[in-house]
Amino acid sequence: MTLLRSIFAHPSGRIGGTIVALYLIIAIMGLVGLTPHDPLMQFRIDRLHAPSATYWMGTDLLGRDVASRLMIGIAQSFIVSFASVALATVLGIVLGLTAAWFGSYWDGTIMRAMDVLLAFPAILLALLIITIVGPGTWTSVMAIAFVYTPIFTRVVRGPALSLKTREFVDAARTFGSSRTYILSRHMLLNLVAPLTVQVTLALAWALLTEAGLSFLGLGTQPPQASLGLMLSEARNLMEMAPWLLVFPAFAIMIGILGFNLLGDALRDILDPRSRGAVA
């Protein structure tokens, strides 16, 4: 757990770490149901109430408690972000390593495929996947993962290529270790640093994309709540009920801020090259 201690020693790591931890707790509380009110229950008589004692963050158009919806919204946005980034990481590692390790033929096709994916404007690719498969949580996860995989593939392939030529890999070969062993044990461990940094930044980016997709009506589906959906629902009510826009917007902002700060801290801690540099 030295990593945790060094994170909290790092100035921005401390802020980022606490924010992300706080969000995880809120998300879990949301999922478990520890919310002030039932997030889906419509108290229609209390429609569009400003923040008050009973409704800490006010109520929305259908009279649902914004605070409770925010909690499951954070959970939903987290699930979508974590799942999509995890999927993209796994795909990225598999593709990146195969491209780096087998070289020439494999490398060419995989990287060209990645170019094709990267060529697509991100929102458009997500839009096409979602319109084909139909909106919903898992399609958003797939869409965001699909858009982010090329980036992860590149992040993995770069260092993997250089590592491949390094002595300790040849040394491992002389010990007769099998290819998969080398790939998994040696290569991966060395990729942990750049990957963790990329993952935290990708999480921030995934949160943003999920919000963008919901704004275009393609993300999480009502009555479920996600930060992006709450924002797009609040769009036309901005004047009548500003609290509907303010709370989710801040939630997203601080969430992404947390991820970015954590990402910065991790980069300084894990990335040997810049270990000496002032944070």
Partner 1 sequence: MNYLTRRLVTFPVVMLGVSVLVFVSIRLVPGDAITAMLGTEAGLLTPAQRASLETYFGMDQSWFGQYWHWLGGVLQGNLGISVTYGRPVLDVILRVFPLTLELALLSMIVALAVGLPAGVYAATHAERPSDLIVRIVAMVGQSTPSFVVALLAIYALSVWFGVLPAMGTFTPLWEDPLKNLAQMILPALTLGFAFAAAVTRISRSAMLDILSDDYIRTARAKGVPARSVIWHHALPNALIPVVTVSGVEFGYLLGGAVIVEQVFALPGLGRTVLDAILQRDYALVQGACCSSRLIS
Partner 2 sequence: MGRPRFKNLVSAVAVAAALGAAFPATAATLNMAWSQDATGLDPHKQTAFSSLRLLELVYEPLVRTDSDLNIAPAVATSWEFSEDGQTLTFKLDADAKFSNGNKVMTSDVKASFERILNEETGASARANFLSIESIDTPDDETVVFNLSQPDVPLLTAMSSINAAILPAGLIEAGMIGTETLGSGPFVLDSWEPNSREVLSVNENWAGGAVGVDGINISVLPDETAILAALRTDQVDFALINDPLVATLVPSNPNLSLNREPVLNYHVLQLNAEEGAMTEEKVRQAISCAIDRQDVLDAALLGEGKVTGPLTMPAYASDPSDLLCYAPDLEKAKALMAEAGYEDGFSASVIAATGEPPTAAAEAQVIQSQLAEIGIDLEIEMMELNVYIDRWLKGDFDMAVALNGGRTDPYTMYNRYWTKDGNLAHVAHYGDDMLDSLMQQGRVETDPEKRKEIFAEFSKHITDVSPWIWLYTGYSYTAANDKVSGFEANPTGSLFGLSAVTVGE
> Is residue 270 near partner 1 by the rule CB under 8 A?
no
> Is residue 260 near partner 1 by the rule CB under 8 A?
yes
Question: Interface residues with partner 2 (CB under 8 A)?
Answer: 40-42, 44, 47, 61-63, 131, 134-135, 217-218, 221-223, 233, 235-240
Q: In this structure, what token pair is assigned to residue 252?
A: 């997203």
The residue (of 142 and 231) whose beta carbon lies closer to partner 1 is: 231
Q: Which of 215, 221, 237, 270 binds partner 1 (CB under 8 A)?
A: 215
The residue (of 14 and 47) whose beta carbon lies closer to partner 2 is: 47
Is 153 exposed, middle or buried (CB count within 10 Å of its CB: 0-12, 13-18, 19+)?
buried
Q: What's the CA gap between 277 and 279, in Å, rounded?
A: 6
Q: In this structure, what token pair is assigned to residue 193?
A: 């640093």
Is 74 exposed, middle or buried (CB count within 10 Å of its CB: 0-12, 13-18, 19+)?
buried
Q: What's the CA gap between 226 and 210, in Å, rounded?
A: 8
> Is residue 91 near partner 1 by the rule CB under 8 A?
no
Q: What's the CA gap between 80 and 27, in Å, rounded?
A: 12
The residue (of 136 and 194) whose beta carbon lies closer to partner 2 is: 136
Name which of residues 128 to 157 contact partner 1 (CB under 8 A): 128-129, 131-132
> Is residue 235 near partner 1 by the rule CB under 8 A?
yes
Q: Are 73 and 26 in contact (CB under 8 A)?
A: no
Q: What's the CA gap between 196 and 26, in Å, rounded?
A: 23
The residue (of 98 and 260) whose beta carbon lies closer to partner 1 is: 260
- The footprint of partner 1 (CB under 8 A) covers 11-12, 112-113, 115-116, 118-124, 127-129, 131-132, 204, 207-208, 211-212, 215-216, 228, 231, 235, 238-239, 245, 249, 252-257, 260-261, 264, 274, 277-279
